[in-house]
Structure 1
Amino acid sequence: MPIYLVFVVNRSGGLIYHAQFHGAQVHPLNECLRLASTLHGIQQISRQVSPVENADDIGLVGLEARTFRLRVYQPPTGVQFVVLATPDMPDEVLLGILRRLHLLYADYALKNPFYVQDMPIRCRLFDIHFAKLMKPHIVGPLE
């Protein structure tokens, strides 16, 4: 039940953090940027096509296929946390990981006085705690 890919996408659709793990198809950075912005656009469109108007609707929250499961978590701040995993990974586990990732972002990126919001996350403590969070859910070393 490994996790293959993690994205953190800012409110504008820009990729501010990504991690790819052993066993997944490796995507170059430019392709990750394109995937993140496309996913952001699809999520925004899905909010607009909803037949029921709801202010709390964040749009696309998940996508399931034979070979993968994608889960999106978007807190009220608008930053999106995305995880791509094997299809047998339970949705509750993925959502729990994304919520803990959001807490790590709040604790180690946003509280860092040198971090500028919506810019790429370059915080050592965030990386350390992210690796601890992901270790039980990946196969092989962190890349």
Structure 2
Amino acid sequence: KGKKDKFANMTEEEKIAYLEQQRLAEEEMKAKRTALLSKYLQDKLEREERVSKLNNLKITHHWRALMRDLKSQELKKDVDILAQTFDRIVDRKNSIIKTLVKDLNDSEEQHMMSLRSHLENVDKLIANFLHSVAIYAGR
């Protein structure tokens, strides 16, 4: 009823001008609302992108820490296996060295016994030779 009363006192041109003004005001309000909503959504998108980037960095950092821990455990196992293998090889080589030292000592002892026996035989031969020379000389 209020609008009809307004229009009742207006001329046709005033009505058209008034309606045009109202339409322009509504369009301006709609444009402001659209711009405000667009700005709000743009800000929200930027905030979400920042949060997403931060979360991605956190996840990447956590993932790398987890992978480092796993790799560290794997490398520790490898080092333990290599240390055990090295110890076995050292033990085997020490055993071989002990065997070779024993064989060398046995060989040296055998050589000394052979040398002693040889020298005894040479002494016997010299004694026999001297005895033979004395027998032939005494004739």
Greater Rg by CA: 2
Under a length normalisation based on structure 2, what TM-score does the superposition of the two structures give? 0.18
| Greater helix fraction, Structure 1 or Structure 2 | 2
Q: Which of the pair has the greater relative contact order for Cα pairs under 8 Å at 6+ separation?
A: 1
Structure richer in strand, relative to its length:
1
